[in-house]
């Protein structure tokens, strides 16, 4: 599993509440990514990080923010959750440029 831990694994939250998902890695990889997976859409990139405090937007970044204050942790925040953000969220790491990407086990988020 390339030393990736996502927490929580499941969460149910109410519309309008803030939510933070955590991705923790143990192997000091430079690149970290957040994807969401929805039926009929595959996996879509939300945000990614290429180092501490270095982040950039992906294809579906609206409504999400990220932070990376330490190499090992990449946080995804939904400032005010909406029902359209109900999804399975995956964190991924890449060990370096031009290397393989490995995924965590996912977080299932339900916004009611």
Partner 1 sequence: GENVEQHPSTLSVQEGDSAVIKCTYSDSASNYFPWYKQELGKGPQLIIDIRSNVGEKKDQRIAVTLNKTAKHFSLHITETQPEDSAVYFCAASKGGGADGLTFGKGTHLIIQP
Q: Between residues 43 and 75, which has the closer beta carbon with respect to partner 1?
A: 43
Task: Map tokens 């400032």 to a residue.
Answer: 79
Q: Do 30 and 5 contact (CB within 8 A), yes or no?
A: no
Q: How far is the CB of 83 from partner 1 (least distance, A)?
A: 22
Q: How far is the CB of 8 from partner 1 (least distance, A)?
A: 15
The window from 19-27, 32-40, 65-73, 77-85 that contacts partner 1 (CB under 8 A) reads: 32-40
Alpha-carbon distance 105 to 34, whole Å? 12
Q: Do 89 and 105 contact (CB within 8 A), yes or no?
A: no
Q: How far is the CB of 34 from partner 1 (least distance, A)?
A: 9
Q: How far is the CB of 70 from partner 1 (least distance, A)?
A: 19
Q: How far is CA 102 from the centre of its chain?
A: 13
Tell whether the torsion through CA atoms of 9, 88, 50 and 19 is positive or negative.
negative
x/- string (CB under 8 A) for partner 1, residues 37-76?
A: ---xxxxxx--x-x-----x-xx-----------------
Query: Judging by DSSP bridges, how do beta strands 10-13 and 19-25 pair with one another?
Result: unpaired
Q: Which residues bind partner 1 (CB under 8 A)?
A: 1, 30-31, 33, 35, 40-45, 48, 50, 56, 58-59, 90, 92, 94, 96-98, 100-106
């Amino acid at each position: 599993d390339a030393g990736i831990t996502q927490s929580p694994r499941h969460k149910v939250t109410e519309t309008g509440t803030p939510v933070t998902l955590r991705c923790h890695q143990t192997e000091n990889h430079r690149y970290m990514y957040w994807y969401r997976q929805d039926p009929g859409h595959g996996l879509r990139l939300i945000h990614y990080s290429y180092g501490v405090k270095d982040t950039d937007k992906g294809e579906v970044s609206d409504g999400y923010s990220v932070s990376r204050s330490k190499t090992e942790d990449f946080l995804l925040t939904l400032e005010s959750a909406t029902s359209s953000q109900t999804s399975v969220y995956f964190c991924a790491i890449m060990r370096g440029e031009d290397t393989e990407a490995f995924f965590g086990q996912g977080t299932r988020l339900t916004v009611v």
